[in-house]
A and B are shown apart, each in its own frame.
Chain A
Amino acid sequence: MALSHLAASASRSSSLLKPLSSALSLRRPISGDNSPLTVETSVPFTSHQCEAPSRSVETNPKELLTFFRDMALMRRMEIAADSLYKAKLIRGFCHLYDGQEAVAVGMEAAITKKDCIITAYRDHCTFVSRGGTLLEVFAELMGRQAGCSKGKGGSMHFYKKDSNFYGGHGIVGAQVPLGCGLAFAQKYSKDETVTFALYGDGAANQGQLFEALNISALWDLPAILVCENNHYGMGTAEWRAAKSPAYYKRGDYVPGLKVDGMDALAVKQACKFAKEHALKNGPIILEMDTYRYHGHSMSDPGSTYRTRDEISGVRQERDPIERIRKLILSHDLATEKELKDVEKEVRKEVDDAIAQAKESPMPEPSELFTNVYAKGLGVESFGADRKEVRATLP
């Protein structure tokens, strides 16, 4: 009885958090099916120099349940990373994404693995949504060989070539011109793919962003610049760093869209719209209005520049996982117990991955010298006095 999602026509009656047909929704298996569902986004989109897409998003139970599971997984993963850091198993820097999961998950739902994503250092969840495994995440965080960057990158440098995830960058704003370069390559190869270059509200004030925007607009590149506006650049509130915190308007001649980044469906709709736009008309800016519960990094308590009330307020009213949970429950797509079971499963997955990651060894010392240059160029390394210990590396 499930209608094919693909055959859904645009003229469907929209419904606001009400079950479409309760008769059909009984006894649905937890994995959901593809019967179409239309949900309205939390707020309408605000646009700049373009027409905003519709508020009604097409989805289906399977997708919603996948959203729930994926976001629960990401949330659990970040919290586990927090504990690991405090236990000093993760060292260096660790920037957690909890609160912002909807952006990663919604974006992924709108695109394919052939589209490129490039982001800054808050990249654990984006990596997972691009297909990265929990083992790769935890091993990389702990600097082990099983990590996605062989333990040499750490938290800020996750990459996944086979799904076109270009990382993972430490220097603020530096990834955006890179993203435009990716878009150029895509346009050149004519494969109908786009690049999403993500950055934060702090990075929005970097000069290189505007250079990248100008270039993309000049050459009509399929680049989508996504500002993940969590309202704080480290400890600085956006109104103290930017004359105009309307980041979606910063492109001037480049169109922009402001999206509720805590609503995975809104994110999906916006990214779908942006991809179509970018392929036809060149760059577009998406501003995701989102929030991070943790501080900027693990060395930031996150409470010196904002009140605990603000954080808990957002958690109560706008939490992305709760939103999807409410949707699922109100549409009778699963019971509360089933959702709780999903969360338990996810917790176990995370624990198993951590245990496995702990077994992975540290990289070999010789790995210190590998991949500085491409193989074959030969790098000589010397011992302390440069006379006796000499090793020519591959």
Chain B
Amino acid sequence: MGFRNIIGRRLGLGLVRRRKPFSTATCDGDGNGNAKSINLYSAINQALHIALETDNRAFVFGEDVSFGGVFRCTTGLADRFGKARVFNTPLCEQGIVGFGIGLAAMGNRAIAEIQFADYIYPAFDQIVNEAAKFRYRSGNQFNCGGLTIRAPYGAVGHGGHYHSQSPEAFFCHVPGIKVVIPRSPRQAKGLLLSCIRDPNPVVFFEPKWLYRLAVEEVPEHDYMLPLSEAEVIRQGSDITLVGWGAQLSVMEQACNEAEKDGISCELIDLKTLLPWDKETVEASVRKTGRVLISHEAPVTGGFGAEISASIVERCFLRLEAPVARVCGLDTPFPLVFEPFYMPTKNKILDAIKATVNY
């Protein structure tokens, strides 16, 4: 059993230990707060605690959030802030989001949890037709900016069709909402706090594979990370790699291997997918002349297509090779076939070499 080398999936410790000129340390405010080594769900939990502490009109609700949630992201909230602010909803995603929109329209911070991103589709109409267009269609009289929808997304090794999906592309097609995906605990806490406090409705996808696996030093104080700013997490000169979420750790490993073959890779974490930071990616591509995008969602119509089209528009003459996309295959997310479906390190490595040698 086990096609998968689990060790390969552990969040590259390199992401944490390397000293990066563009590191997030600059965004930590004073940066002198205590930092503790915690995992992703604890970081998210801390962010939620801070959000509810600093704004007494903030609410957390969703299926099973009261006891702590199926991934423990909401532990301790109900005990600390009471049942009137942290409560369970029945099993009705459309109702949860619609309700959240209404709550936010009254000026509250509604933090809704959808238990798995795979279940977000009943709420799709509410998000696209109600949340995204509220401010626009009311001529700015009303808005539901206080709404943040959190959902665990992505492959987990054994999730099968309905516990592994990456639906970010569907939401990136909707002007009016923001889509944010963190890659690690420290990022998650800062980004989530920014999303909650952002005056626009946000869909926040959390890579579920990393809930326990990713461990990082996370400052204990309240800090926010800017939205719509991509981050170059590894400098390079031969090819630009763009990704988000859990996929970055796989890409990082591919970059390490490529380095042994003398290929210097620049790795960018998009962080916010909508609206995304075109400038940073463009600047990087102008430097390297090549770009590769990788995501778990199926390749056709995935968000990589948008990045590819934009980069080609902006950097056509600079490009040395076609834009490469190493993504999930165009099939429903499989159960036993997951190792074949996934954009693995080797597939990325192959694509890096093919692009560089074009």
User: What is the interface of chain A, defined by CB distance below 8 A to chain B?
Assistant: 88-89, 91-93, 143, 151-154, 156-157, 170-173, 202-203, 205-208, 233-236, 240-242, 304-305, 362-363, 365, 367-369, 372, 379, 381-388
Contact = CB atoms under 8 A, between A and B. Distances in A.
B298 to A, nearest CB: 10
B334 interface: yes
Contacts, number: 108
B1 interface: yes
Given A234-B64, A372-B331, A385 B90 contact: no
A234 B65 CA distance: 12
B351 A241 contact: no
Interface residues of B, number: 41
Nearest to A242: B90
B122 A170 contact: no
A236 B62 CA distance: 12
B189 to A, nearest CB: 26
A171 B88 contact: no
Contacts of B299: 382
A172 B330 contact: no
Nearest to A89: B1
A209 B356 CA distance: 54
A contact patch SS: loop
B340 A93 contact: no
B91 A206 contact: yes
B33 to A, nearest CB: 34
B67 A93 contact: no
A306 to B, nearest CB: 13
B158 interface: yes
Given A152-B336, A207-B95, A384-B351, 9 more contacts: A92-B160, A92-B335, A93-B158, A153-B335, A202-B90, A203-B91, A206-B122, A235-B64, A365-B337
Interface of B: 1, 63-64, 67, 88, 90-92, 94-95, 118-119, 121-122, 158-163, 299, 324-326, 329-332, 334-337, 340-341, 346-348, 350-351, 354-355
The 7 A-B residue pairs whose C-beta atoms are closest, nearest first, are: A385-B354, A170-B162, A205-B90, A384-B347, A143-B336, A384-B350, A368-B337
A156 B88 contact: no
B92 A206 contact: yes
Contacts of B325: 386
Nearest to A88: B1
A203 B91 CA distance: 6
Nearest to B353: A385
Interface centre among A89, A236, A363 (most CB of B within 10 A): A236
A192 to B, nearest CB: 34
A151 B336 contact: yes
A368 B348 contact: no
A369 B326 CA distance: 17
A122 to B, nearest CB: 14
A286 to B, nearest CB: 20
B331 A365 contact: no
A154 B180 CA distance: 32
Contact of B340 (A91, A203, A242, A365): A365
Contact of A171 (B67, B162, B332): B162
